[in-house]
Amino acid sequence: MDPNLLYWKSQGQSLFSRLQIWFNLLDPTSLLSSDAEIQKAHQSLLRSGENLNEEDEKALILSLSSVHADSGAVLPLSFRPAAFLPISAPLVVASFLPHSGVKPALFCQFLLQTYIAGFNHANRNSSSEQSKKTSLKQLLLIAGTVSYATCAGALPQILINRLGVRSAPIQTFLRSIVPIPLSAALAFFSVYTVRSEESEIGIQLFDSNGNPVGLSKAAGKKAVRETALSRATLFGATAAVPSLLVLLLKRTRPFQRNSLLAAPIRHISVALVLGLMIPVSFSLFPQLGTISKENVEEQLQAAADGGQLYYHRGL
C-alpha cells in the first residue's frame, strides 16, 4: 500500500482529523515545489514507512498534496488539490454571472466543466488501469460529459433568451434558485460519468495489513458514489449560500437604495463559500474508505480478516 494511503488509514478516519489534514494540504505554496522535489519526498516516505519523524512531516504534506496514491506519479500542476481553489474560483464566479446572451454563458460553463472533468479524471482511482494512456472510450465519455454539462449549466440563460423572459421575479428564479440544484446535479453527474470505469472494472482492495487482494466493482461503485456526493455538496452549497444571502440583503434599506451592491457581494461570497467548502467536501468521506466483506464479491470475502476491506476513494 502506498505511504499516502497508509497515512490516511492511521490518521484520516474521523471527519475532524481529515479537516485538519486538508487545511494543510490545500496550502497553495506546495504548488511551487518541482516534480523532482515531490518525487524525492514520496521516495523518502517509501523508505520511512510508518515510522515518520519531524523531517518527514514536510515530505508527507508534499506527497499527499501532489502524488497520486495509485500510480505514484506526480499529479499535473493544475489538477492538484491545492490548485483547485485558485483555478476554479474565477470560473465558478463567471458561471454565476447574469450573462446578457447565451454564448458568454456557454463559454463560461465550458471552461468550468472542462476543468472539473479534468480534475475528476486526474484524481480518480487508477488501480485497475494497465497503462498510463487514457482509453478512447474514456476520452469520449469526458468529451460527452463536458458537452452535456456545458449546455445544461447554461440552461437558465438559454431559457431567459429563448423565451424572452422580462419578468424580474422569473429572472431571479432562473438565475438564483435554479442554479442551486442544477450545480449540485451537474457536479454529481461529472464525477459519475468521468469515473464510470471504476464501477465497470473495479478498483483495488486491501486487507488490514495493506496487502492488495483483488479488484472489486462494489468498492468502485461506492468510491465513485461517495466522491460524487461530496462534489455535489461542494457546488450545491457554493450556489445556494450566496444566492440566499443576496436575496435576504435585497430586503434591507442599503441594498434597496443601491442595487449595484448586490453584484460584488455575490461574487465575493461565491469565492468565500467555495474556499470554505473545498476542505469540507474533500473531508466528507475517508480517502481510504472501508467496505464490509458482505458487500464485496464472494471471491474477495475470505481476505477480510477484520470483517472489512480498504479501498482508495480518489478525489
What average pLDDT does range 121-135 have in this prediction? 79
Q: Where are the alpha helices (DSSP H) in the chain?
A: 3-11, 15-25, 35-48, 54-66, 81-95, 102-122, 136-153, 155-162, 168-172, 179-194, 196-201, 217-249, 253-257, 262-283, 298-301
What average pLDDT does range 285-293 have in this prediction? 90
Strand-pairing partners, residue 215, are: 204
What is the pLDDT at residue 190? 95
The residue type of 167 is S
What average pLDDT does range 212-229 have in this prediction? 92
pLDDT in tens, 3-16: 888 888 888 778 89
What is the pLDDT at residue 312? 92
Q: Write down how long the chain is.
A: 315
127 phi and psi angles, rounded to 5 deg: -65, -20
pLDDT in tens, 56-97: 678 888 889 999 988 888 999 999 999 999 999 999 999 998
Residue with cell 460553463: 109
The proportion of the chain whose per-residue pLDDT surpasses 90, expressed as a percent, equals 48
Strand-pairing partners, residue 214, are: 205
Averaged pLDDT score across all residues of the chain: 88
In this prediction, residue 299 has a pLDDT band, given cuts at 50, 70 and 90, of confident
What average pLDDT does range 207-213 have in this prediction? 85
What is the pLDDT at residue 264? 85
Q: Is 50 a residue whose pLDDT tops 60?
A: no
In this prediction, residue 112 has a pLDDT band, given cuts at 50, 70 and 90, of very high
Run of H or E including 7: helix 3-11
* Residue 147 or 53, more confident: 147
What is the pLDDT at residue 266? 86
Whole-prediction pTM: 0.92
Pairing of strands 203-206, 288-292: unpaired
